[in-house]
Structure 1
Amino acid sequence: MWNTLVWRSLGSPDTADEIDDLRDQTLRLFMWLVGVGYVAWQAIVWIPNPPIGVPRYWNWPLFPVVLGGLAVTLLLRRRGARAAVAVFLASSAIDIAVAAWVWQSTLPPLFLPLVPLAAVALFHPLAGLLAWAGSMALLMAMRELGPLAFLAGDQMVHVGLAALAAVCAGWALGRNMVTAVEWSLSSYEQASRNATAARSHRAELVRALRQLDNVNYRLERANAALEAAWKAADAAERSKTEFVTNISHELRTPLNLIVGFADMIVTTPESYGATLPPAFRGDLNAIYRSAQHLLTLTDDVLDLARVGMGRLALARDPVDLGQVIHDAADIVREYVEAKGLWLQIDVPAGLPILSLDRLRIRQVLLNLLTNAARFTERGGITVSADLTDSAVVVRVADTGRGIAPDGLTKVFEHFYHGGSTDARPEGLGGVGLGLPLSRRFVELHGGQVGVESTPDVGTTFWFTLPLHAVEGHAAEAWRATALVGHAAERVLVLAGGDGRLARFLERHLRACRVVAAPNMARAVEVAVEVRAAAILADAAQPRAAAVGAPALEARAGARGDADLVVEAPVPVFRLPLPHTERLAEALGASDYLVKPITRHELAAALARLGCRTDTVLIVDDDPHFVRLVSRFLRGIAGADGRQVLTAHSGHEALAILETRRPDVVLLDVVMPELGGAETLAEIRRRPEMAGIPVIVLSGQEGGEGPLRLDGALTVVKPDGFKLEELLAAIEGLVDVLEPPRRYLSVSATAQAPRVTARG
């Protein structure tokens, strides 16, 4: 109702200026009508025998009133149409009232309905009602005061009703006009929007046409840039490969010397012709454990660099946490006691066996213990463990300098050293990464890390490990491990794989435990026992036939198994695996050992040859490693009378082979001048040397560079595939398989990987 009375749609800010212009034009028309009407009235009055009997001299008093109202209205038009309209309406009502008073006639009030009608036309119906009320109030006031006393009551009522009728008529007529204006405004706005959109589209088309004019040139530039990017990527990959290769060799070889000699001294001291004192044996054990820890960390770093996964993985095992705490404490005990500190271990008996990554948790403890030792000058360190309802809480408390309150929130930040240059005492120093890495390792286990400290009193670091208890002792067989492992883990059985390959796969497969079995037949038995999710078999292994499906026979290939028919109750993935036999075959060698090697691994490799090993040629550019392998050979059972030949380069080895025929050659891969691969190729090229077995000793677990495995991926599922399973498998393979770069070249023919699925 209110919108109708004030015609709100005409008050839009977008159209306010246009409405004011229309109002001004209408006001100017009304002013002309009033002026012309007054002149006409004067003309009628002054003609001889006028039709209206009004004395002529009474017309002049009305002149200044009319002229004054029009003059004021004209002046106000320059400031604003609204004020001018209000003055015009008020002056018109006054003109009518003054005319009735001057002439003492009932004729002028008959023009009063024109005032509210003009208000409706110039403003809105509500303004018309206000003008009607004001005009009637003016007449009634002048009637009561005497100037218009001659107006009868019924005349006043008639004038009021006529004026009200004029307002209603103006509203009725104006409503249609307002509706038409609304339609016009809406159409105008829509047309404006359409015109703007059309101009925008036209501008876009013009820009698109200009861009299309240069599209061929840009495509050529893009192709050239892509080609350059491929070359840069290849160069970067070669650089990365060379870096990983060098780091692998430079780290594994000296670590192998430390581990190997320590193992020989501890396990076979008689080979040195003397008995070790107990103190020496304990020190050597500490050296051996520390080197093994560093070697395992090195293996993880190199695995991540070679595979390119860019993520840490956990290798969970049933672990006695108390034993891990004691092992970590034994490693740092000498350093702690050398500073005059005491080291106390408070671990209650009966802690449950947990599913943990032994290496990562030991590294966390070592980081916390070495930090405590570095920042403690007097007193000592206490390591404790408490069992709660849901977790085991491990605390490392010291009596050191403490940490300021503002530093507690920063201790787990990378490269943080307490905000001072003297916060890195000598000893087992660090670069500020130990605590952030420790927190990451604990969080990977689902636990939390925290710290509490009081300056000049001491600091306590704590972490929690959720209870994923494993029944039985940690030294039980792997089958128990698989059956009761982490609840979120899935068990995979590796057919024909060794322990090294199983550990590698387990580190880099999310939430999976990998169990090794010697062959496919045993793998099927193990899969049933441990409720495995799938069996992983190398492409050279015998195929497995699904239960209820026709059996499919295949040769065992390089693994030496006889033809075998196996019924597998779980899905079987046949794929090329990076086992050592495949690496040896790629190089043309008889076997492949990855540094660091142990005496037992070397003995097993010699036994697999199935031939005499009375004369062995060792080829390695590191004389210390040659001496270590020589001791290994003399410490192996049946080594009486074994002759060991040594060479420190490929050329020297070929020179020896021209005059001597050893039973087996142990060959390093990375050597200066003539490398191991080139030396092996030369041996196989010469007929007189081609039959000599060669065992490759390499610091690279997967050969040089990212390993490319040729072969087919075959999936066999006992009960067939559901459609959604096939679709999900296809999507997953498309997401992870990277097409060869030559596939993107116009002149090259793509060699797509073969992927088959058999229900």
Structure 2
Amino acid sequence: LTLSLVVGTTIFATLIAALASASQYGALEIASNAVRESQQRLEQLRTNRGELNRTIRMLDLTTARLERANAELYRARRLAEEAQRFKDELAARISHELRTPLNLILGFSETIAFSPEAYGERLPASYRRDVLDIHRVGRHMLSLLEDILDLARLQAGRLGLYIEEVDLCQVIETAVEIVRPLIASKHLALGVQLADSAVIAAVDQARIRQVVLNLLSNAARFTSRGGVTVRLDASDDEAVISVQDTGPGIAPESLGRAFEEFRQVDGSPRRPHDGAGLGLAISKDLVELHGGRMWVESQVGVGSTFYFSLPLSDSARISHLTAPTSPGAGSHVPPAVLALNTQHYDLASLLRRHLRHYQVIPLTSWGRAAKHARQGDVRALIVAGPLPENATPLGMPILSCSFSQLDAPTALPDGVARLEKPLSLEAVKQTLGDVDPPARRVLIVSEYAEIGRVLTRMVSALLGPSAEIAQALDLATALERYETTRPDVIFVDLDTTQEEIGACTIDLLLEHRDAPHHGAIVAMAWGAEGGPLRGGPLTLSSDQGLSLSDYMRTIEAILDVTYPVATDAPAASAAPGRPTERPG
């Protein structure tokens, strides 16, 4: 029994020892595994930290590159703005330098060809043909110059539109009558398909007529047989005008170049049709300024049809303010601003060119502002000029702005007539015909002797050899000859480099002329092209007022534009951080 007990005890102890040893080995294995996992995690953390450091360095490098790129873009934008201003001023100066000699060429050639009696004898037929060619080429050069100036003004966003409600049928009929002789001279058929009733649209009548004339003239020039057809189709919101010809047509690969500047479908120097390739580009821009679009359809050997559309109603202009019912791409609708113009320039056209994140709705009266303020997402009313005296509250911010122009046409006093250049016999004849009693004594005031000479020839041809014509090159001579000759009409040239000539002469003549002798004053000047626009005083008001944060953000935005961040190296990175777009 004792032996059995000893053996049992030994076996039990052995089992206990074995179990204890197994537990120690298990604990050691668990601890060893934990150590290995910790080492692995530590290594993974070291790896992740290295990758994070590399990522941070890459982000720093990318940020630095973006800052440099933004600084370069900022400097490039400033340079582009300076270049645009230089181009505007250069266009204005060159236009003056070119149009002055063209005025002389056209004036003398027209007088020589159509009023040779002003020179005392008639020209031989061969001379007259040459002079007529000079006059024709001069008119073409003037037309080309006007196209270039129109293009420059369109690109700069400062082409003024004179919006009024007109009948598009009458606009088309006027253009057709102008181009009818050209089409008849080529023995082409002319078709006119207009609506039975008036189609009223708020447009610039002269500019839309210019577009129709461009299309009709192009169709006539490129068509040698068949005919030209102009058509007007109107719906409730839109009018579509088309000009179809039976010319050679345009190849599909050339359709994309049809509206490019200085490009023609046939660009070879031996092409049979002249032109600078500006008419369609200008026409397209003019149509888009009115809120329309222009496109072309053509088939080689069959002919081409050019279309352009114009909105007909206020609802058509703001229908695109209503958000689409289905979500998805294209569902974003830009906010809108209302534009009320009381100045010479077309405010809506200027805003459309420069407010790229807003839609612009032109207005003709303050009363319509309240109506449109309740339609769509309209943020503000922008007024060119002073606010109306009896303006009713609109419940939205109102911006009152003004524009000035270095070469803007001078505002003439009451009773002073305007004679636009280039001078023509017909225009001078009409001006003299408006003088009562009929003019016999004429005074011409211009610092350019050549202008005086060409006008002297025209007046002599119109009034006959008995007319008394005096000329003055400066203010003192003008006042002296005004007192001695007592002219019935005084022509004053406003295009001058002398401060005391031009508008100042008119003011002094108005002071010197007495009641018994009331000579008519005629100011001679080019049309209202002018130079680059400059902004004037800007006033912001609101019926409810602005919150302090909005008020300060407005001040900050104005300061950002007025005092831009310097573009030198230390401050270059600050330029991109400036706010570039403000929520309305």
- TM-score category of the 2 structures, normalised to the smaller one: 0.5 to 0.7
| 2:93 match | 245
User: What CA distance in whole angstroms lies between the structure 1 residues aligned with 2:339 and 2:533?
Assistant: 25
Q: For the Cα contact (< 8 Å) 2:295–2:306, is it kept in 1?
A: yes
User: What CA distance in whole angstroms lies between the structure 1 residues aligned with 2:369 and 2:308?
Assistant: 32
| 1:378 match | 225
Equivalent positions of 1:75-224 (< 5 A) are: 176-191=31-46, 194=49
Q: Which has the higher contact order (CA 8 A, sep 6+)?
A: 2
User: What CA distance in whole angstroms lies between the structure 1 residues aligned with 2:271 and 2:180?
Assistant: 20
Which residue of 265, 283, 300 corresponds with 1:455?
300
Q: For the Cα contact (< 8 Å) 1:352–1:470, is it kept in 2?
A: no
Q: For the Cα contact (< 8 Å) 2:446–2:452, is it kept in 1?
A: no
| 1:346 match | 193
Would you say 1:394 and 2:216 are equivalent positions?
Answer: no
Shift of 1:451: 3.4
Please tell me the residue identity of whatever aligns with 1:455.
Answer: V
- Helix, strand or coil for the counterpart of 1:502? coil
Show CA shifts across 1:351-374 (max 9, x none).
531233334433332333233223
The 3 A distance-change label for structure 1 pair 456 and 534 is closer
- Helix, strand or coil for the counterpart of 2:217? helix
Q: For the Cα contact (< 8 Å) 1:669–1:696, is it kept in 2?
A: yes
Q: For the Cα contact (< 8 Å) 2:399–2:539, is it kept in 1?
A: yes
Please tell me the residue identity of whatever aligns with 1:384.
Answer: R
Which residue of 606, 618, 624 corresponds with 2:445?
618
Which residue of 184, 189, 197 corresponds with 1:337?
184
User: What CA distance in whole angstroms lies between the structure 1 residues aligned with 2:461 and 2:347?
Assistant: 34
Show CA shifts across 1:242-261 (max 9, x none).
551241464378579979x9
- Helix, strand or coil for the counterpart of 2:230? strand
Which residue of 569, 573, 583 corresponds with 2:392?
569
Q: For the Cα contact (< 8 Å) 2:405–2:532, is it kept in 1?
A: no
Task: Identify the range of structure 1 (371-380 vs 310-319) with the bigger mean alpha-carbon deviation.
Answer: 310-319
| 1:733 match | 558
- Helix, strand or coil for the counterpart of 1:645? strand
Which residue of 403, 406, 411 corresponds with 2:250?
403
5+ long unaligned stretches in structure 2 = 1-17, 61-70, 111-138, 317-335, 353-359, 372-380, 514-520, 567-584
User: What CA distance in whole angstroms lies between the structure 2 residues aligned with 1:584 and 1:409?
Assistant: 42
Show CA shifts across 1:729-757 (max 9, x none).
5355345546799xxxxxxxxxxxxxxxx
Please tell me the residue identity of whatever aligns with 2:307.
Answer: W
- Helix, strand or coil for the counterpart of 1:677? coil
- Helix, strand or coil for the counterpart of 2:247? coil
What TM-score does the superposition give when structure 1 sets the normalisation length?
0.44
Equivalent positions of 1:524-603 (< 5 A) are: 527=366, 537=385, 568-569=391-392, 578=404, 595-596=420-421
User: What CA distance in whole angstroms lies between the structure 1 residues aligned with 2:541 and 2:220?
Assistant: 56
5+ long unaligned stretches in structure 1 = 1-161, 206-221, 263-288, 472-487, 495-500, 516-525, 539-543, 547-565, 608-613, 636-640, 742-759
Identity among equivalent pairs (%):
28
Q: Which has the higher helix share?
A: 1
User: What CA distance in whole angstroms lies between the structure 2 residues aligned with 1:721 and 1:204?
Assistant: 40
Please tell me the residue identity of whatever aligns with 2:350.
Answer: H
Would you say 1:676 and 2:501 are equivalent positions?
Answer: no
Please tell me the residue identity of whatever aligns with 1:185.
Answer: Q
| 1:492 match | 340
What TM-score does the superposition give when structure 2 sets the normalisation length?
0.54
The 3 A distance-change label for structure 1 pair 730 and 681 is same
| 1:323 match | 170
User: What CA distance in whole angstroms lies between the structure 2 residues aligned with 1:601 and 1:298?
Assistant: 29
Q: Which has the higher strand share?
A: 2
Show CA shifts across 1:447-469 (max 9, x none).
44443334333333333334427
Q: For the Cα contact (< 8 Å) 2:228–2:243, is it kept in 1?
A: yes
The 3 A distance-change label for structure 1 pair 721 and 453 is closer
Q: For the Cα contact (< 8 Å) 2:293–2:310, is it kept in 1?
A: yes
User: What CA distance in whole angstroms lies between the structure 2 residues aligned with 1:318 and 1:236?
Assistant: 33
Would you say 1:508 and 2:350 are equivalent positions?
Answer: yes
The 3 A distance-change label for structure 1 pair 387 and 414 is same
User: What CA distance in whole angstroms lies between the structure 2 residues aligned with 1:368 and 1:702?
Assistant: 23
- Helix, strand or coil for the counterpart of 2:499? helix
| 2:471 match | 646
The 3 A distance-change label for structure 1 pair 347 and 406 is same
Q: For the Cα contact (< 8 Å) 2:160–2:345, is it kept in 1?
A: no
Equivalent positions of 1:625-704 (< 5 A) are: 628=455, 645-647=470-472, 649-650=473-474, 654-655=476-477, 657=479, 661=483, 667-668=492-493, 670=495, 675-677=497-499, 699=526
Please tell me the residue identity of whatever aligns with 2:246.
Answer: T
Q: For the Cα contact (< 8 Å) 2:250–2:300, is it kept in 1?
A: yes
RMSD: 6.4
Please tell me the residue identity of whatever aligns with 1:374.
Answer: R
Please tell me the residue identity of whatever aligns with 1:321.
Answer: L
Shift of 1:345: 0.8
| 2:518 match | none
User: What CA distance in whole angstroms lies between the structure 2 residues aligned with 1:740 and 1:331?
Assistant: 54
- Helix, strand or coil for the counterpart of 1:183? helix
Show CA shifts across 1:64-116 (max 9, x none).
xxxxxxxxxxxxxxxxxxxxxxxxxxxxxxxxxxxxxxxxxxxxxxxxxxxxx
| 2:14 match | none
Q: For the Cα contact (< 8 Å) 1:390–1:466, is it kept in 2?
A: yes
| Number of corresponding residues | 448
Shift of 1:724: 6.9
Q: For the Cα contact (< 8 Å) 2:223–2:248, is it kept in 1?
A: yes
- Helix, strand or coil for the counterpart of 1:182? helix
- Helix, strand or coil for the counterpart of 1:569? coil
Q: For the Cα contact (< 8 Å) 2:384–2:401, is it kept in 1?
A: yes
| 2:121 match | none
Please tell me the residue identity of whatever aligns with 1:403.
Answer: I
Q: Rg: which structure is higher?
A: 1
Q: For the Cα contact (< 8 Å) 2:257–2:264, is it kept in 1?
A: no
Equivalent positions of 1:262-341 (< 5 A) are: 300=150, 309-310=156-157, 315-341=162-188
Show CA shifts across 1:418-466 (max 9, x none).
457388423xx32334334444444444444443334333333333334
- Helix, strand or coil for the counterpart of 1:402? coil
